[in-house]
Amino acid sequence: YQRSVREAVVSTQSTGESIHELSIQLTTIRSEIQSITQEVRVCDERIVTIDNSIEAKIAALRNEMGERDVMIGQIREELASRDAVLADQAKQLRYELTRDCSLCRGM
């Protein structure tokens, strides 16, 4: 009977030690999970910061492109206006040359 009691006590102590070891391991795992969770939060914050920065740069580039499009439009209008002026000047010169030539022929 005493032998059975001793074996039961030893078994209980062994089980208690196993439970204690498992408890320590569980605490360690929980700590590691918290650490990893914190690292993930930091990474998420960095991703959000980078994403916001990229979005801001895209918006700035779109704004620049819009400004350039306006400038290109203005340049095109200016060139069209100059082309019209040059066409009128060429027409006037042709008229004057034709008139001058006809005056010369008449003499």
| pLDDT tens by residue, 18-37 | 888 889 999 999 999 999 99
pLDDT for the residue numbered 1: 67
pLDDT for the residue numbered 27: 95
Q: Mean pLDDT of all residues in the chain?
A: 89
Question: How far is CA 104 from each of CA 41, 90, 92, 101, rounded to the nearest angstrom?
Answer: 92, 21, 18, 5
pLDDT for the residue numbered 85: 97
Rg (CA), the chain: 45
Q: Which residue has the tokens 């969770």?
A: 37
* Least confident window among 13-22, 63-72, 74-83: 13-22
- Type and span of the H or E element at 14: helix 2-106
Q: Which amino acid is at 85?
A: V
pLDDT digits (tens, 9 = 90+) for 68-77: 999 999 999 9
